[in-house]
Structure 1
């Protein structure tokens, strides 16, 4: 039997909920999409996956996003396969060896959110190292051996005839500023890293020079959104919605990078340098993403935003001697047409007017 006190408590709770209005009630019912990223902490390198929350794109699709930094690509893959996250970031350097062994699970890539090629090698200003060929016999730093820069740079050296196991030494030096400090202090001869990582080092005021890239770099190493195949089929609208939010956010950032930075800091103010002003915080985000945003759009004529090209996987598999004849298990382009059903010019106009 419900007591009078319990009835009064329930009535008060119901009245309070009604007072919040329909929008608040709907927000409570909105699905939370857990997005797993292979980082030790959330940073601006995944800005286009997250700012749809601040810009209203996620709400338009009926969900909200929770970014989850899982520490590494292997952890993201496991979490996606187990269903602990709804969407994860997939990388070929980790996934293709699994596919080659016939051990690929039920995850499927459905949107390419960063295209090749985003890695470089940096050296201290004035060093005699000017080309990748000069790296032979040198100590090359990487953030850690689970980072994408390690397998990708190994592949490039191998393609040039440099044995990545015998001809160079590899040292894990940490991510971000610590990597730059290791280079500055001479603990390593060169630093292999990716675009947003170099942006962080640049923002810390550490000088470096980028080694000239070799000609005909392989188009490998894109990054992808993935989810369980059966869930994509059963909840197609949800994953189209997440892809569309990411595409809109990418267009928004390309149109007005500073506005994208402000939207990101609205969600993650803790990522700003301690004691920085708003202007300084925005500048730090822009320094981190300036190289990455150029890779949001496909480098292939006529390709739609987020579309996936199998020949990238074929190239990487051949470079590594992975025997893979069927890549169809690992990706799909079935959602791309629907993901791109939005008014691009409207998003650009929104970006240009943001904050005014």
Structure 2
């Protein structure tokens, strides 16, 4: 017998088992990581993150991940820079402004969107036909922390307007509030991302997008960013998080129906309000696949997350030309490809096989 303390007898085998259990729990404790998602409510457009959590891809890398919705890309970049989250997904507008000025201590390390998701949209009978027609008009945005404000200013600047004087913004949220704001003409139009416009259309508010140049439509957009000291001191975590997200993307592409149902399971408020279950799922898949279509490019050679330097140089020059930044920052201050090869070291075929074998009956 072994003795612990006064008058306390514990069998030797039980003591060893208890010690081993405690050691095992400590050895396999997951490191907590906060990922900021730049929308008020996580939905099908972000299924790779939700799938990565649901299927245990983050856990397999050693991380207990919390997905936190915030008020937009600008807020995501600010909060990561302030140390209030380890990783954030964000459009590069205000992030680049902050990097250039030295106010934000962040850098992108994994690319997500290879095309711009933002569009100005108006009611079908609106007299606004071109971006130049936005002079003295008011645009609705999800929130003032949305990257839509940055892109809208660049859009109207290219159209020959002064973004400081010729346009204003009103935060109108999403869903019913946004629909009311547009229908009651509290705003003249909206600057929203693709998935939000699709959801408004499914809710009965069909809008007409204002044509934009190829230059605007092909600008790179959302990526994952982290603080520079995190990139330097904790690359293992950044690689693991991005690898799990990459797996979530592969899964979502291999089985969109499962990806949507997993998202709805974890975020029931994102479920389509269409009472016809089959039609609702079709809507969810349309949103999901519409967004995931820009998660890849023929330019990246199959390497998830790879930054195409020429495209980002194009974006940096565009922001300078539109006076969003006074001087374009050096590309290596904005993004790094240093982790991409490591991130892509996993069995992609195994993920696809797992996705295709998913029992959908357990997700409905």
Fold match (TM-score > 0.5): yes
Q: Distance in 2 between matches of 1:265 and 1:26?
A: 33
**Across the two proteins, how many residue pairs are aligned to each other?**
348
Report if the CA contact (8 A) 2:153-2:163 is conserved: yes
Partner of 2:79: 79
The answer to whether the Cα contact below 8 Å between 2:139 and 2:191 also exists between their aligned partners in 1 is: yes
The alpha-carbon deviation at position 333 of structure 1 amounts to 0.5
Q: Aligned with 1:170: secondary structure?
A: strand
1:54 to partner: Cα distance: 1.4
- The structure 1 residue matched to 2:322, chosen from 316, 319, 324, is 319
Contact 1:35 1:87 in 2 (8 A): yes
**3-state SS, counterpart of residue 332 of structure 2:** coil
Residue aligning to 1:95: 95
1:335 aligns with 2:334: no
- Determine the C-alpha separation between the residues in 1 that align with 2:86 and 2:329: 28
Residue segments in structure 1 that go unaligned for 5+ positions in a row = none
Q: Is the 8 A contact 1:181 1:206 kept in 2?
A: no
Cα gap change, 1:323 to 1:252, in 2 (>3 Å): same
Provide closer, same or farther for how the CA distance between residues 140 and 232 of structure 1 changes in structure 2, counting only shifts above 3 A.
closer
Shift of 1:112: 1.1
Q: Within 1, Cα distance between the matches of 2:26 and 2:272? A: 35
What TM-score, normalized by structure 2, do the two folds share?
Answer: 0.81
- CA contact 1:200–1:287 (8 Å) conserved in 2: no
Matched, 1:161 2:165: no
Offset from partner CA, 1:138-193 (integer Å, 9 cap, x none): 33222222211111022112112133333344333223342233222322222211
2:262 equivalent to 1:263: yes
Q: Of 319, 329, 348, which aligns to 1:344? A: 348
Gap change, CA 1:214 and 1:229, over 3 Å in 2: closer
Matches of 2:217 and 2:153 in 1, distance apart? 12
Question: What is the CA distance between 1:278 and its match in structure 2?
Answer: 6.4
- Counterpart CA distance in 1 for 2:43 and 2:109 is 23
Residue 198 (structure 2) aligns with: 199
User: In the TM superposition, what is the alpha-carbon distance from 1:35 to its structure 2 partner?
Assistant: 0.9
Q: TM-score, normalised by structure 1?
A: 0.83
Q: Say whether residues 1:142 and 2:145 are aligned partners.
A: no
